[in-house]
């Protein structure tokens, strides 16, 4: 009786793991290779929870320096992907972040891309999307699809 209960528990545990794998595993990684701090303030065509928020400058796309989020579900992407951010340059963040503010004041920058030009499918179940800010209002966006 105890052996049957043990095996039943193992089977249920394995079934739960298999269901979780089917649910998806999509990661978003963010890097800032510019010389300025940036603050991602808005995303269009991506889940809002994928945002990196405040990002300090990095010297390389080192995973220890990345900001990221992972979704354990299939992620849907819009036709257009737009990233809006504020940058700590001469026109941005006058006076810095004040108490009670969620993002600093200043000029908003934005970059917009077609999902197709980035090679991102409408839905992604497993994979990683890497956003790298290069400075000068330029982003590099790459999809790393994981084998299923």
Q: Which tens digits make up the pLDDT trace of 25-66?
A: 999 999 999 999 999 999 999 998 999 998 999 888 877 678
Pairing of β 108-114 and β 54-55? unpaired
Residues 6+ positions from 130 with CB-CB distance below 8 Å: 28, 29, 30, 31, 61, 140, 141, 142, 143, 144
Q: Which tens digits make up the pLDDT trace of 61-109?
A: 877 678 899 999 999 999 999 999 999 876 666 666 677 777 777 889 9
Looking up tokens 């963040």, which residue turns up? 93
pLDDT band at 19; cut points 50, 70, 90: very low
- 25-145 carries CATH number 2.10.25: no
For residue 13, pLDDT beyond 80: no
Query: Are residues 78 and 115 in contact, defined by beta-carbon separation less than 8 angstroms?
Result: yes
Domain-by-domain residue ranges, the chain? 25-145
pTM, whole model, 2 decimals?
0.77
What confidence score (pLDDT) does residue 16 get?
Answer: 53
């Amino acid at each position: 009786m105890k052996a049957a209960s043990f095996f039943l528990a193992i089977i249920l545990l394995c079934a739960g793991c298999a269901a979780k794998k089917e649910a998806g595993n999509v990661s978003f990684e963010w890097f800032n290779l510019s010389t300025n701090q940036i603050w991602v303030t808005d995303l269009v065509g991506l889940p809002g929870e994928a945002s990196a928020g405040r990002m300090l400058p990095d010297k390389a796309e080192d995973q220890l320096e990345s900001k990221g989020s992972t979704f354990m579900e299939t992620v849907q992407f819009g036709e257009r992907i737009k990233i809006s951010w504020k940058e700590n340059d001469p026109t941005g963040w006058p006076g810095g972040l004040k108490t009670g503010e969620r993002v600093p004041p200043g000029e908003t920058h934005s970059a917009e891309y077609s999902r197709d030009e980035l090679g991102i499918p409408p839905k992604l179940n497993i994979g990683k999307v890497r956003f790298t800010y290069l400075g000068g209002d330029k982003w590099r966006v790459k999809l790393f699809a994981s084998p299923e």
